[in-house]
Structure 1
Amino acid sequence: MTEVYLNGAFMPLAEARVPVLDRGFLFGDGVYEVIPVYHGQPLRLAAHLDRLERSLAGIRLANPLSRAHWEHLFTRLIASQAAENQAIYLQVTRGAPPVREHRFSKCVEPTVFVMTKPMAPRDPRIAEQGVAAVLREDIRWQRCDIKSISLVAAVLLRQEAADHDAEEALLVRDGWVVEGSTSNVFIVQDGALATPPVGPELLSGITRELIIELSERQGLTLKQRPLSVEDCRRADELLICSSTRELLPVTRLDGAPVGQGQVGPLWRQLDAAYQACKTELMRTPHG
């Protein structure tokens, strides 16, 4: 039976309940994080908790738990699952005031929810065929650097990609590709990598930061600069990344081949480095 944490108590998932007046339910007023776990070890935990702090500050909500408390919750929930590779999902909302009101209510405790689920292995066909993506106008709000639970725009965009047999929708804002609906974007051109710079129009992905670090370790050239639609269409390689999907090669964009339409050498190099990073994490003693 799956165990979750909700507002100070561990319980079966089927028994977890929140009030209908919870602001997360009524307004999408909250933030979340997704943290990959390999062999019982969270990857880049400190970076995820740092981003949680930034997201909470962005919506003017104090962090309800200390880092030690968060880590205790994660350790217990990870141990409750049989799967070695998991994804932690945590969500903090502004809680449930006595009445529905747009303005913040005073003296309301935040709602804190945490669960884990098994993380499926990557489909081996991806390494041979890559995935498809489509370009779509960015219809989201102006603070995409906050990992908000208000995700209806991202849901619609990701579903539109699925409707076209694509893995992801790459989002275009004022002519520039900023990120995917649930991922960050890299291109490869003339042997060099590029990715859009951090700003309010995109989420600073933890996996994105790891890919940047791995690129530096591999001695690759990488620039953080705006990417135009044509940059993506003419790229030799196009890559997307996220915490649970890791790094994926995009070989088709809007039905047209990216580069030669094949998985490229820089994806293979970076993916090997990423897998080595995971292996090193698995060798680290549990703290």
Structure 2
Amino acid sequence: MTRTVYVNGEYLPETEASVSIFDRGFLFADAVYEVTSVLNGKLIDFEGHAVRLARSLNELGMENPISKEDLLEVHRELVRVNEIDEGLVYLQISRGADSDRDFVFPDPEKVKPTVVLFTQNKPGLAATVKPMKVISIDDIRWGRRDIKTVQLLYPSMGKMMAKAAGADDAWLIEDGFVTEGTSNNVYIVKDGKIITRGLSNDILHGITRAAVLRFAEEAQMEIEERNFTIEEAQNADEAFFTSASAFVMPVVEIDGKALGNGAPGNVALRLREIYLDESLKKAV
């Protein structure tokens, strides 16, 4: 089945969609993105993704070319025409395509942003719980990880390093402390306490992270936002990560060392259950 995608105001078959070779997203990774999950044909945490999108664009001095209301309508239409029950909607906005390649930003009066959206069908997305094994690697990314840009080469390399080591993902280490996963926020649990790095420019301000911590607090779970080392993580009772596409996923091994009894922890599994239940109630 050929997907219908959205490019600059048009719904098109994916085989007919294209952007300019001079688009700055292609030439400079001068673009931001969001990924919104779809469960039961409805969008999860759309409001949070829309707010973060606006923030990322603002941090890069980029015009927001589409209103939140119109963006919601595009998401819903793509979900409808592509018959997505469980899956993802990917959104990317670049600074646009100038007439030639130049490091200097183009005049926003002359060059308008490029807006692209497409869906990914993921049957069983909510039901999939995979105990994850991770390795640690140096964090050598740029310093503004709080902006959700498409500069994802090193995270992609990190996932390939993990695959080569027989693991599922990598946790990034900077100045001796864990920052985040290649595409997720990370947590450890010790004596019932959830520990995760605090918000700053060093990590992405995860939409799922915010929701999960709010639900954990409402469930009267203890939370501590602070830095932690990979050694502390290896000696934790359990660990997990959160993202829009994985929700809450348990981690059972770090750099070859099993956590606890080597099985998904109760805190991670309970938070996943709460997150899915509560998010579905508010889905649009």
> What TM-score do the two structures reach when normalised by structure 2?
0.95
Q: Distance in 1 between matches of 2:205 and 2:258?
A: 28
Query: Which AA in structure 1 matches 2:88?
Result: A
**2:136 corresponding residue in structure 1:** 135
Matched, 1:150 2:151: yes
Q: Distance in 2 between matches of 1:227 and 1:250?
A: 16
SS for the counterpart of 1:91 is: strand
Contact 2:31 2:92 in 1 (8 A): yes
1:192-231 equivalences in 2 (<5 Å): 192-231=193-232
Q: Distance in 1 between matches of 2:120 and 2:265?
A: 31
Q: Distance in 2 between matches of 1:263 and 1:7?
A: 43
**2:61 corresponding residue in structure 1:** 60
Cα deviation code 1:164-187 (max 9, x no counterpart):
222210000000101000110011
Contact 1:233 1:253 in 2 (8 A): yes
The alpha-carbon distance between structure 1 residues 42 and 126, as it changes in their structure 2 partners (threshold 3 A), is closer
The alpha-carbon distance between structure 1 residues 97 and 248, as it changes in their structure 2 partners (threshold 3 A), is same
1:135 Cα deviation after fit = 0.7
Query: Which AA in structure 2 matches 1:280?
Result: K
Matched, 1:117 2:117: no
1:31 Cα deviation after fit = 0.3
**1:15 corresponding residue in structure 2:** 16
Matched, 1:40 2:41: yes
SS for the counterpart of 1:104 is: coil
Query: Which AA in structure 2 matches 1:115?
Result: F
**Number of positions where the alignment pairs a residue of Structure 1 with one of Structure 2:** 281
1:101 Cα deviation after fit = 0.4
Q: Distance in 2 between matches of 1:111 and 1:256?
A: 45
**1:170 corresponding residue in structure 2:** 171
Contact 1:3 1:115 in 2 (8 A): yes
1:182-193 equivalences in 2 (<5 Å): 182-193=183-194
**2:89 corresponding residue in structure 1:** 88
Query: Which AA in structure 2 matches 1:119?
Result: K
Q: Unpaired runs of 5+ in structure 1?
A: none
Q: Unpaired runs of 5+ in structure 2?
A: none
SS for the counterpart of 2:160 is: helix
**1:108 corresponding residue in structure 2:** 111
Cα RMSD for the two superposed structures = 1.5
Kindly, what percent of the aligned residue pairs are identical? Answer: 32
Q: Which sits farther off after the overlay, 42-51 or 254-263?
A: 254-263
Query: Which AA in structure 1 matches 2:213?
Result: I
Contact 2:136 2:254 in 1 (8 A): yes
Cα deviation code 1:217-243 (max 9, x no counterpart):
211000111112222111111111111
1:280 Cα deviation after fit = 2.4
> What TM-score do the two structures reach when normalised by structure 1?
0.94
The alpha-carbon distance between structure 1 residues 110 and 123, as it changes in their structure 2 partners (threshold 3 A), is closer
